[in-house]
Structure 1
């Protein structure tokens, strides 16, 4: 029924596009993905325009670091494009609250997305959705298949197997067991704590309980991942404390490390840089038979400028973005950025295919700090960076870190007071 509704919505918007425009309508898209310009010009826009004569698309990205400021200036001046590429959670929510993004809850094609997929672009109560979800990134571990074959290693599925593999790699000495540093801090939280953590706090169950104040950061589910991270330090190689994110990428792609704690966004770059075959494994569960959870983090969406002069054409485009056709184009052109629609997409890249397959095996969640919990000061996301680094270095105990984080959150967030 869901897919029938989607098809009807797409059919309706296609008919509207072919009959409603006496003159061409040009829709301008604001985005921070300037590295996607060729993809939009060569694949996405031609595919849409071929089906929707009368609507032209102009993709006009800004530099990523400047996007928020540039977009806000344009919106305030009334010169922003018709379609707004949406960052997840608070940045886009602020645009909606300011009246800059339209309510898209009534768009039929929204039925093609799960509640988790839409959560990054909804009001806190879930009543309004203001951006169409486009893609997420998934966390796990990428490994050097040649190294595993040389050392006779099996892909680990439990934490005991994971650390046994790391021990064997370290004892052999040919490879650094894991390529990750702590210099830039965010990696320790993003590819460390929020990579393995969902298996401890049971994904959405724990995340929602933390938001509601029903769980605390001092609970075992939230401190135990720090105890596991504390074991990582001995496997990261000499000088990991000063190792930057690009350093880690280079160490792995040059074949010097066996395992890379990863986000799927690495796939395109690693494919061009590594000359060995890569595989991936999901975060190992604590005990054999446990339900697995993955961070399937909502990353990019697209919404309608509330001030657009072409709302019907914009809605036509957004309905197409929600379609299986768009998902297939986007997912294969940017392997590692996974479409969020419920309709399965046949991905071509073997590594991307392997990683997205975890959705069928595990429960999906998003990074624990991204929704609501990082709006105050201290900012829980940034505090989690420092805590994850401290855990890896052994500078503080998991209990101390949990107590500090809980105190910071409780200082401004009412449900924890």
Structure 2
């Protein structure tokens, strides 16, 4: 039976049958859905392999959690298993030096090819398996509020802001929930706008990586910062936006205390955990751009499961990762938090019935040209200070132009640390 603990020791004992029992350590982020999935997957694996148990510990999300992962890898104190981002943030871990390659796991050929490219190191080895479904970045909305006010799903930013104006004028609820106590949640208006950036600047990822384009100097890219500033200056946020948490943001849109909450679709799991009776009161739409004819969804590859190169149990760890990346592992996730989007493992299927907020997302994946990867999957660069800068822009401490300029400086530091050319 898995349990939350703060120890990192690896316990090795003989089981009653004389076999060597192994206790693997596992570091997960502290969100309710991540903990629930981790407990369920480890319990299922232990049921099939009674000689293997797990000791689970949690870490915060955002920058604080990033620092914990990097520090523990650097000091050789990482747990046997941990979950972390795919894409650009993974490259900052220097995976070829620090992580265990998993190209030889049994279920490797089931992994989506596009996904695999986001969990590889510069030398071509693969290090992660999907720990959840693909995600979209957009805006949750409270359906009863929309129905009561006769609002339509917006396809442009102007239409979205007009909806917010109506909500502010005709109700006592917050048009937009923000939750800056969990600073990572402040990034959505910038990051989820990238589909719209690509519609205007299709070469931006390559030019950005080559130090030929900047957020501050590219109007389409700077627009996400401007949207955050506009929403703040319009007074559309909840009064306690600086103290509210991610859990609070989900609760506000579920209960109708707020009409919108910008967030990734992995939040479906938290809705399911904390507000199961209100699931169908919440819908989802992609963050609108400025062109109604180019309306689409920015997509994130899943958070992934990794192991450090230093693990003392590489074969057991890889066997567990193979289980996670299999139809049996996906079924455990379905039973625990439901499906939050498309799986990237062959043979994994969504349940016949999915929450309305998931059904709202699927048409973007089904229609060609209506999805695009987030920038962090098209470029190895993502500056770690973005969440602090978006808090400042979203709190009126600095304007959009200043935030974009400082983010460009942060990106330059990251690019030099990665040893990229032209920086």
Q: Calculate the TM-score normalised by the size of structure 1.
A: 0.74
Deviation at 1:165, TM superposition (A): 1.8
CA distance in 1, matches of 2:113, 2:255: 40
Which of 387, 402, 409 is equivalent to 2:411? 409
Partner of 1:198: 195
Q: Is residue 64 of structure 1 aligned with residue 63 of structure 2?
A: no
Partner of 1:30: 26
Deviation at 1:364, TM superposition (A): 4.1
SS at match of 1:236: coil
CA distance in 1, matches of 2:321, 2:266: 24
Partner of 2:366: 360
Q: Deviations over 1:284-332 (max 9, x none)?
A: 2431221623132432323375543562x44333322221221132144
Partner of 2:219: 220
The answer as to whether partners of 1:185 and 1:385 remain within 8 angstroms in 2 is: yes
C-alpha spacing 1:38/1:394, structure 2 compared with 1 (3 Å):
closer
Partner of 1:84: 81
The answer as to whether partners of 2:298 and 2:371 remain within 8 angstroms in 1 is: yes
Q: Is residue 94 of structure 1 aligned with residue 93 of structure 2?
A: yes
C-alpha spacing 1:159/1:33, structure 2 compared with 1 (3 Å):
closer
CA distance in 2, matches of 1:195, 1:410: 22
Which of 273, 295, 307 is equivalent to 1:303? 307
Q: Is residue 318 of structure 1 aligned with residue 321 of structure 2?
A: yes
SS at match of 1:213: coil
C-alpha spacing 1:262/1:335, structure 2 compared with 1 (3 Å):
farther
Number of residue pairs the alignment of both structures matches = 382
The answer as to whether partners of 1:29 and 1:57 remain within 8 angstroms in 2 is: no
Q: Calculate the TM-score normalised by the size of structure 2.
A: 0.73
Root-mean-square deviation (CA, aligned residues, Å) is 4.0
The answer as to whether partners of 2:285 and 2:361 remain within 8 angstroms in 1 is: no
Deviation at 1:146, TM superposition (A): 0.8
C-alpha spacing 1:240/1:30, structure 2 compared with 1 (3 Å):
closer
The residue correspondences of 1:16-415 to structure 2 (distance < 5 A) are: 23=19, 26=22, 28-33=24-29, 43-45=40-42, 47-48=44-45, 56-65=51-60, 83-89=80-86, 90=89, 94=93, 96-99=95-98, 101-107=99-105, 109-123=107-121, 125=122, 127-135=124-132, 136-180=134-178, 185-189=183-187, 191-201=188-198, 206-217=204-215, 218-233=217-232, 234-237=234-237, 239=239, 242-245=242-245, 248-271=249-272, 272-273=274-275, 276=278, 277-290=281-294, 292-303=296-307, 307-309=311-313, 311=315, 313-335=316-338, 338=341, 339-347=343-351, 348-351=353-356, 353-354=358-359, 356-357=361-362, 358-361=364-367, 362-366=370-374, 368=376, 372-374=380-382, 380-383=383-386, 385-387=388-390, 389-390=392-393, 393=396, 395-398=398-401, 400-410=402-412, 413=416, 414-415=420-421
Q: Which runs of 5+ in 1 are unaligned?
A: 1-20, 375-379
SS at match of 1:393: coil
C-alpha spacing 1:383/1:155, structure 2 compared with 1 (3 Å):
closer
More helix, by proportion: 1
Q: Which runs of 5+ in 2 are unaligned?
A: 1-16
CA distance in 2, matches of 1:220, 1:236: 24
C-alpha spacing 1:160/1:284, structure 2 compared with 1 (3 Å):
same
CA distance in 1, matches of 2:360, 2:54: 29
CA distance in 2, matches of 1:107, 1:120: 17
CA distance in 2, matches of 1:93, 1:30: 21
